[in-house]
Amino acid sequence: MKLPISTPAWIFVNISDPAMPSLQQRIRWSKPAIFLLCLLPLCLLVIRTINNDLGANPVETLTHDTGDWALRFLLLSLAVTPLRLLTRRAWLIRYRRMLGLFAFFYAFLHFTVYLWIDQSFLWSEIAADILKRPYITMGFAAFLILLPLAATSTKGMVRRLGKRWASLHRLVYPAALLAILHFIWLTRADYREPGVYLALFLLLMLFRTPLFRRRIQRA
């Protein structure tokens, strides 16, 4: 039986052909691209700083933008597990550590802008701010929680800590909640953006409940 002339040739390509890139190779190639995409917000912020395009209050813009991206990357890292379960693409988990570390990276920049540019390392005023302003207290607590998580994100620390590693990294949930509350408390008028982040966080937590996990596995 003759095949139709219009049949595309790619249908008959052997997917096991060693000449085709494997899943491992595609993941290896995609990681540098995702890494550069994660740096894009910082690059845009640097360009805006050089061009004096940070608005009437540059320090506030730097503080808010770095904080926003820290929270966004934190939620993206939390979204990896639900996406893996829903799509049944186990390889998605390989991007979670990078997203989590970028969340810490932007949180570190956020904290550095506050300490250095905003407060000029005046430790007495910084301590007073942390104690007197609840939104700063929450943000500071979230950052302190993220410190050991970032420090133990290497493969060596995963092996060294064993089962304790998973228990330690569950602290990302209260860290994310504290970061969102920090944003909500900081907001004075329009609560739509922090409200969206809170709704996303609650949805991601819902996906982690045993009931939802069982339903997803049965689907």
Predicted confidence (pLDDT) per residue in 36-60, tens digit: 999 999 999 999 999 999 999 999 9
- Taking a C-beta distance cutoff of 8 angstroms, is the pair 158, 165 a contact? yes
Q: Please report, for residues 16, 62, 83, 174, 211, the alpha-carbon distance to residue 89 in angstroms, rounded to integers and kept in the order given.
A: 19, 36, 8, 27, 20
- Taking a C-beta distance cutoff of 8 angstroms, is the pair 140, 115 a contact? no
Question: Given this model, what pLDDT does residue 217 score?
Answer: 67
Higher pLDDT among residues 208 and 25, named by residue: 208
* Predicted TM-score of the model (pTM): 0.86
Question: Given this model, what pLDDT does residue 219 score?
Answer: 61
* Residues 8-19, mean pLDDT to the nearest whole number: 39
Cα diameter, the chain: 86
Q: Give Cβ neighbours of residue 59 (< 8 Å, ≥ 6 apart).
A: 113, 117, 118
* pLDDT surpasses 50 at 85: yes
Higher pLDDT among residues 80 and 21, named by residue: 80
